[in-house]
């Protein structure tokens, strides 16, 4: 028997479906300790939060409506930390009000025009009223989150140490206690070749010259001119970073160090996931170029006088601590590029690799090391709080009462926020939230596959 495989849903019925979806989301998220979760276990995500999937149907017109709402929240969250929940409340409140107005006889065109005017006015207001954040502002912004007092206290301690210019990183620790630690040096997981320097002995030298080579030092003859320069009395020590060193080179350097005729350390930097870009990062810190055959450069042509100098290098316990004389002009640009790259990564990418690089490149940074069985969950919540702090520092903050001066602005949109919010988060919520409402108001009649027998 033939059956109709499609059905037409009228505009009025479609509006009723939208209202039903909105009510379902409101009922599901009511009284939840934080609307956004990534799965049924109520675990949050360090990419962007999403409304719990249990509210969303698997197929049909209702699924498309859910996607419009969810995508608006997700796009907002990607732009400004913790703005997704503000956008959600705005979408639910405005969409319901707009659809009711349509039922009362107001044209959708007039409603959309009003929404566009509201969005434009609010975005302009946010840009005018935002101010640069102080440390006290950052403490107040933390209260906009529904994180527990433990996570907030850790972030407060980190802000006090890092100030407005330092960076904050999180990670797990195998220790028994959670710690917050300030570092003022560039730290890399690098060690000299053991045959040259005993790993149990600390190497601590000042006024050190360094060479950064993206290649393997195949023979002593390639660096002989550097060794001659390094052998003079009172000459600064030399550290050579390279992908590898031939046995002949290792043996020669080891023998001369034991004789105390040279103070030249070979430090291998392997080409793996963790250290593939370490040479480039070290070069950015000291303000030099990486010597590479890809650009026609030869190790034998490196000039001693051109080698950059750093204030201090310490090799100890499998790590290198590097302190330059001054910050390289190219370092800030390098950090900005890495931060942008991290932001653009998909949710399943290795963000920890970029975090490790940024941590090594930042001379004033704070590390939060979380202990305990729930360390992963705590780190995820801390990551959201840190994104909130970074948004406030980078784009400024805005007082909520600045947005509520007009009677036409519904303050119910902003009930999820504190009195002070990152300006970019509020801007994103307004932009993407109202855009989603306009999409919902613009829905006309629809054709849907009839899945009923």
| Residue 214, H or E segment | strand 203-214
Task: Give the integer Cα–Cα distance in Å for 334 and 284.
Answer: 7
Please tell me whether residue 43 adopts helix, strand or coil conformation. Answer: coil
Q: How many CA atoms, within 13 angstroms, populate the side-chain half-sphere of residue 114? A: 15
With beta carbons less than 8 A apart as the criterion, state whether 153 and 353 touch. no
Q: What is the pLDDT of residue 432?
A: 93
Task: Give the integer Cα–Cα distance in Å for 208 and 235.
Answer: 9
Task: Give the integer Cα–Cα distance in Å for 408 and 392.
Answer: 27
Class of the domain covering 6-131+397-449: mainly alpha
State the fold for domain 187-323.
Answer: GroEL (3.50.7)
With beta carbons less than 8 A apart as the criterion, state whether 208 and 237 touch. yes
Cα separation values, 101 from 104, 108, 116, 270, Å:
5, 9, 16, 65
Task: Give the integer Cα–Cα distance in Å for 389 and 259.
Answer: 53
Task: Give the integer Cα–Cα distance in Å for 43 and 91.
Answer: 24
Of 195, 203, 190, which Cα lies nearest the Cα of 242?
Answer: 190
| Residue 109, H or E segment | helix 108-129
DSSP code for 345: S
pLDDT 10s digits, 11-35: 777 788 888 888 877 776 655 555 4
Residues of the chain with pLDDT under 70: 1-9, 28-59, 165, 273, 345-349, 351, 404-418, 444-453
With beta carbons less than 8 A apart as the criterion, state whether 213 and 241 touch. yes
Q: What is the pLDDT of residue 38?
A: 41
With beta carbons less than 8 A apart as the criterion, state whether 209 and 237 touch. yes
Q: What is the pLDDT of residue 42?
A: 41
Which residues are paired to 204 by β-bridges? Answer: 314
CB atoms near residue 173 (< 10 Å):
15
Q: What is the pLDDT of residue 437?
A: 92
Q: What is the CATH number of domain 135-184+364-395?
A: 3.30.260.10
pTM of the model: 0.61
Q: What is the pLDDT of residue 228?
A: 92
Q: What is the pLDDT of residue 412?
A: 57
Residue holding tokens 């509006």? 15
Q: What is the pLDDT of residue 268?
A: 95
Please tell me whether residue 241 adopts helix, strand or coil conformation. Answer: strand
What residue spans define the domains of the chain? 6-131+397-449, 135-184+364-395, 187-323
Q: Do domains 6-131+397-449 and 187-323 have the same CATH topology?
A: no
Q: Measure CA 383 to chain center.
A: 8
């Amino acid at each position: 028997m033939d059956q109709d495989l499609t059905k037409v849903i009228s505009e009025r019925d479609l509006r009723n479906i939208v209202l039903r979806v909105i009510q379902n989301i409101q009922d599901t998220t009511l009284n939840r300790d934080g609307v956004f979760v990534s799965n049924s276990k109520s675990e949050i995500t360090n990419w962007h939060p999403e409304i719990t999937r249990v509210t969303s149907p698997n197929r049909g017109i209702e699924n498309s409506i859910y996607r419009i709402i969810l995508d608006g929240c997700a796009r907002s969250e990607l732009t400004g930390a913790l703005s997704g929940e503000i956008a959600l409340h705005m979408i639910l409140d405005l969409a319901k009000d707009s659809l009711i107005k349509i039922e009362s006889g107001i044209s959708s065109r007039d409603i959309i025009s009003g929404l566009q005017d509201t969005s434009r006015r609010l975005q302009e207001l946010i840009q005018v009223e935002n101010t640069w954040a102080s440390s006290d502002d950052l403490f107040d912004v933390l209260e906009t989150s529904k994180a527990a007092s433990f996570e907030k206290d850790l972030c407060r301690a980190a802000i006090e140490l890092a100030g407005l210019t330092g960076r904050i990183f999180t990670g797990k620790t195998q220790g028994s206690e959670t710690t917050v630690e300030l570092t003022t040096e560039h730290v890399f997981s690098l060690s000299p070749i053991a045959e040259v320097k005993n790993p149990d002995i600390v190497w601590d030298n000042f006024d050190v010259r360094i060479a950064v080579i993206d290649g393997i030092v195949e023979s002593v003859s390639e660096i002989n001119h550097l060794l001659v320069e390094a052998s003079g009395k009172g000459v600064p020590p030399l550290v050579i970073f390279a992908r590898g060193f031939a046995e002949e080179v290792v043996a020669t350097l080891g023998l001369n160090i034991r004789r105390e005729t040279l103070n030249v350390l070979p430090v291998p930097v392997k080409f793996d996931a963790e250290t593939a870009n370490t040479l480039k990062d070290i070069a950015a810190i000291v303000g030099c170029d990486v010597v590479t055959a890809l650009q026609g450069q030869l190790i034998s042509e490196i000039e001693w006088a051109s080698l950059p100098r750093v204030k201090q290098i310490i090799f100890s316990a499998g790590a290198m601590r590097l302190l330059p004389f001054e910050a390289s002009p190219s370092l800030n640009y390098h950090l900005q590029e890495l931060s942008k790259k991290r932001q653009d990564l998909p949710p399943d990418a290795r963000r920890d690799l970029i975090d490790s690089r940024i941590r090594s490149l930042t001379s004033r940074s704070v590390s939060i090391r979380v202990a305990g069985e729930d360390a992963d969950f705590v780190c995820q919540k801390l990551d959201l709080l840190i994104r909130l702090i970074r948004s406030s520092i980078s784009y400024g903050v805005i007082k909520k009462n600045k947005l509520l001066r007009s009677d036409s602005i519904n303050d119910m949109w902003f009930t999820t926020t504190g009195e002070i919010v990152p300006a970019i988060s509020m801007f994103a919520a307004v932009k993407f939230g109202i855009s989603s409402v306009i999409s919902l108001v613009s829905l006309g009649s629809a054709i849907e596959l009839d899945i009923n027998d």
